[in-house]
Structure 1
Amino acid sequence: MTTPTKLQPAPVIDETAQLLTEHYVFPEIAEQLAALLRRRLHEGAYDVDAAEDLAPLVTADLQSVNGDRHLSLKYHAEPVPPEQGEATLQAIRRDFDTSLGGAPRTELLDGRVALLELAPMLFPLGWAAEPLSAALTLVSRAQALIVDLRANRGGDPDTVAFVCSYLLDQRTHLNTMYWRDGERSEQSWSQPHVPGASFGGSKPLYVLSSGTTFSAAEELAYDLQQLGRAVVVGERTRGGAHPRNGWTVHPHLEAAIPVGRAINPVSGTNWEGTGVQPDVPCAAADALDRAHTLALARLDG
């Protein structure tokens, strides 16, 4: 039986520190973090035998300076390919194939109120456009809609814009992404025409949130809230607004590093660190019943 090779943390830390200085959206913070990781390595803080044990230690240090929850060293039980981002992409594809493309639940509730759950992610639009279009078309005839993001951990900003396009009546500026180099920005807009039928921009819309709702799912809730289009019901979300890329730094470890930051055109800021604050705060477990009650009251009013 072959004995596993003992982890050598130094090469992992050196490469992660270098990636931070080259790619992290906040260069000054990147320098601080790189120095922190190297100091902690020298102190022996990373003297562990397994990649699985190293990942949470480094992640805690990465998030200790400015609380960026998108910064992490991610452990993968299966060996990950060396190509940038490929490890995450493989894991995402498995989730896509087992969740009906990210729309695992559609249901007509009492009072012609529809429920659409989007989970566990807003998958890459090239994959998700067809199943999401089918689900959004299915609920389009409801009198009110509840979008459940309580178990959604993020995903593709293009998919956020795609979903918003079914919930608005006209082309609308949703978000602007600013990249590390400072010379590029990228605007995100909803589109006035969609495949299938649109729910539209006038009927009651509620979005359910939890303390684990994250990243692109937070953007969907935040964009609709800032536009005054949706009422957010549930818990404050986790608070991650920085898109990230992934680099393989060990056969089982991936450095996830944010390369941009989002700015909402209405608020002039984003949900980083603060999360999306619900309009109707309540426990996540109670959010569906609360939103359904609100929808029925509004339809009867």
Structure 2
Amino acid sequence: MTTSTKLPPAPVIDETVRLLTEHYVFPETAEQLAVLLRGRLTEGAYDVDDAAELARLVTADLQSVNGDRHLRLRHHADPVPPERGAAALDAMRRDFDTSLGGAPRVQLLDGGVAVVELAPMLFPLEWAAEPLSAALTLASRAQALIVDLRANRGGDPDTVAFVCSHLLDGRTHLNTMYWRDGERSEQSWSQPHVPGARFGGSKPLYVLAGDSTFSAAEELAYDLQQLGRAVVVGERTRGGAHPCNGWTVHPHLEVTVPVGRAVNPVSGTNWEGTGVQPDVPCAAADSLDRAHTLALARLADRSLNSGR
């Protein structure tokens, strides 16, 4: 006969509060969350039997003040390494190896319209540059392009800039990241040169988005939309604009804390909480057909006008 042993929550909560207080990009919100978590601990709200349930409860509380979906206590079934971000890195590498480097589909549709799916995430650029360049170079010969981000949960801002570089002409300011200390900022720009061929900045471009599209994938859609480069088709995205780091706080638990905030140079804001609003709203499941129809109509119109 076995008896369940409750997970001692105090060490997890204490470390989570410390990380919030030291690193969260919004210090005032961090203070509110610290009071909330300590109060809930005192009430016994976290007296549960397993790490997965503790992660669920704490995550709900972390996101209850300002709805920041990057604030999480994540449960991992396998023990996570103590190094910062190591758990996410291990899982990321497995996904990379099973998704052709984050570009699992390149397809040519009728009428010279290509589809490049980027999923399940935008992997670190040192991993992803080669497979993404291969996919985008192959699609560069198409007359119009659809970038499918419906199943993309985020990733590396440098990879966002890399993809944008294939879809724009010339060097373009994409985003500025402001860090917690308020004194440092970091601009993101598309690059003037890319390996392989460039699709460029003039041919029709559509981005598919849905309620699973998150974080860096949202930035890719938002940057291209704000520049007037792409038409976003589908559903509103999840609304996470803050880059985050992860720390192990228990053998099976990792806390993720946003350490910066994004500001778009065109809109002067970002998609935090609101998500990226589609230019052409429709069900995500229907967005590929809708974008294909739009692309064919646009190409037909361009052909007609060029023949005058």
CA distance in 1, matches of 2:66, 2:161: 28
Q: How many residues align?
A: 301
Unmatched tracts of structure 2, length 5 or more: 302-308
RMSD after superposition: 1.1
Q: 2:237 is aligned with what amino acid?
A: T
SS of equivalent to 1:32: helix
* Residues 3 and 159 of structure 1, relative CA distance in 2, 3 Å threshold: farther
Shift of 1:224: 0.1
1:120 aligns with 2:120: yes
Instruction: Identify the residue that residue 177 of structure 2 maps to in structure 1.
Output: 177
SS of equivalent to 2:101: helix
Instruction: Identify the residue that residue 65 of structure 1 maps to in structure 2.
Output: 65
Q: Deviations over 1:216-262 (max 9, x none)?
A: 00000000000000000000000000000000000000000000000
Shift of 1:200: 0.2
CA distance in 2, matches of 1:268, 1:287: 28
How do 1:53-202 and structure 2 match up within 5 A?
53-202=53-202
CA distance in 1, matches of 2:155, 2:2: 38
SS of equivalent to 1:116: strand
Shift of 1:192: 1.1
Instruction: Identify the residue that residue 30 of structure 1 maps to in structure 2.
Output: 30
Instruction: Identify the residue that residue 262 of structure 1 maps to in structure 2.
Output: 262
Instruction: Identify the residue that residue 19 of structure 1 maps to in structure 2.
Output: 19
Q: Deviations over 1:259-298 (max 9, x none)?
A: 0000000000000000000000000000000000000000
* Residues 278 and 49 of structure 1, relative CA distance in 2, 3 Å threshold: same
Shift of 1:2: 9.4
Q: Deviations over 1:37-94 (max 9, x none)?
A: 0000000110101001100100000000000000000000000010001011101111
* Residues 20 and 107 of structure 1, relative CA distance in 2, 3 Å threshold: same
Which range is displaced more, 4-13 or 229-238?
A: 4-13
Hey, which bits of structure 1, 4+ residues long, moved more than 4 A? Answer: 1-5
CA distance in 1, matches of 2:220, 2:170: 17
Instruction: Identify the residue that residue 219 of structure 1 maps to in structure 2.
Output: 219
CA distance in 2, matches of 1:129, 1:228: 25
Q: 2:273 is aligned with what amino acid?
A: G
CA distance in 2, matches of 1:89, 1:33: 27
Percent sequence identity over aligned pairs: 86
CA contact (8 A) 2:81 2:248 kept: yes
Name the TM-score, length of structure 1 as normaliser.
0.99
How do 1:232-243 and structure 2 match up within 5 A?
232-243=232-243
Name the TM-score, length of structure 2 as normaliser.
0.96
CA distance in 2, matches of 1:171, 1:185: 19
Shift of 1:6: 3.8
CA distance in 2, matches of 1:6, 1:49: 4
* Residues 4 and 96 of structure 1, relative CA distance in 2, 3 Å threshold: farther
Shift of 1:5: 5.7
Shift of 1:3: 7.8
Unmatched tracts of structure 1, length 5 or more: none
CA distance in 2, matches of 1:83, 1:4: 29
Instruction: Identify the residue that residue 40 of structure 2 maps to in structure 1.
Output: 40
CA distance in 2, matches of 1:296, 1:246: 44
CA distance in 1, matches of 2:99, 2:18: 36
CA distance in 1, matches of 2:208, 2:286: 10
Which range is displaced more, 122-131 or 4-13?
A: 4-13
Q: 2:172 is aligned with what amino acid?
A: T
Q: Deviations over 1:116-175 (max 9, x none)?
A: 000000000000000000000000000000000000000000000000000000100000
CA contact (8 A) 2:172 2:189 kept: yes
Shift of 1:212: 1.0
